[in-house]
Amino acid sequence: QVQLVESGGGLVQPGGSLRLSCAASGFTLDSYVIGWFRQAPGKEREGVSCSSDRAYYADSVKGRFTISRDNAKNTVYLQMDSLKPEDTAVYYCAARGKEARLFAVQRMCLVRRQDDYWGQGTQVTVSS
C-alpha cells in the first residue's frame, strides 16, 4: 500500500542542524511533486518546501533548509541548518501526482488536495 514514513526528528539546540528523511513505499516518488510541511501547536499546517523540477521555500526557511530526493532509495530529505526555536513543530512529508499546470510546486505547498499522500509526522524541537 502507499505509505510515507518520516524519520530524523529530535531535539536540537538553536543554530544546530537536522536532516529529515521520508521513505516512500507503494509508489515511485520520482514521478510525484514532493513537499515538507510543519505544524506547531495552535497553528495551521504550513508548507515549508516543495519540489519537482524546481523548488519552493517558505520565506521563513529560505537559505537555511534544502529539499532533495534520492530516487534510488525512493526517499525525500529536508536538510535543516541554522535552526531556530520557531522551527519547532511536527514535520510531515507529502506527495502529489504531477500536474500539467503553472506553479504546480507552489500549489503543492499552498493548496491542500484530498488525494495527497501524507506521512505520520516527526517531531522537531529546537531549544537550548
Residues 127 and 89 sit within 8 Å (Cβ to Cβ): no
Mapped onto helix, strand or coil, the DSSP state of residue 57 is: strand
What average pLDDT score do residues 78-90 get?
Answer: 98
Residues 96 and 27 sit within 8 Å (Cβ to Cβ): no
pLDDT surpasses 90 at 75: yes
Percent of the chain with pLDDT over 90: 91
Which of 78, 72, 90 is CA-nearest to residue 24? 72
pLDDT surpasses 90 at 120: yes
Q: How many whole angstroms separate alpha carbon 107 and alpha carbon 15?
A: 30
pLDDT surpasses 90 at 100: no
pLDDT surpasses 90 at 60: yes
- Band (pLDDT 50/70/90 cuts) for residue 18 is very high
- Band (pLDDT 50/70/90 cuts) for residue 53 is confident
pLDDT surpasses 90 at 46: yes
pLDDT of residue 37: 98
Strands in 75-80's sheet, in edge-to-edge order, are: 3-7, 18-25, 75-80, 65-70
Q: How many whole angstroms separate alpha carbon 16 and alpha carbon 111?
A: 30
pLDDT of residue 102: 86
Position 5: which residue type?
A: V
What average pLDDT score do residues 110-117 get?
Answer: 94
What average pLDDT score do residues 2-23 get?
Answer: 97
What average pLDDT score do residues 64-86 get?
Answer: 97
Residue found under cell 526557511: 61
Q: How many residues does the chain have?
A: 128
pLDDT surpasses 90 at 1: no
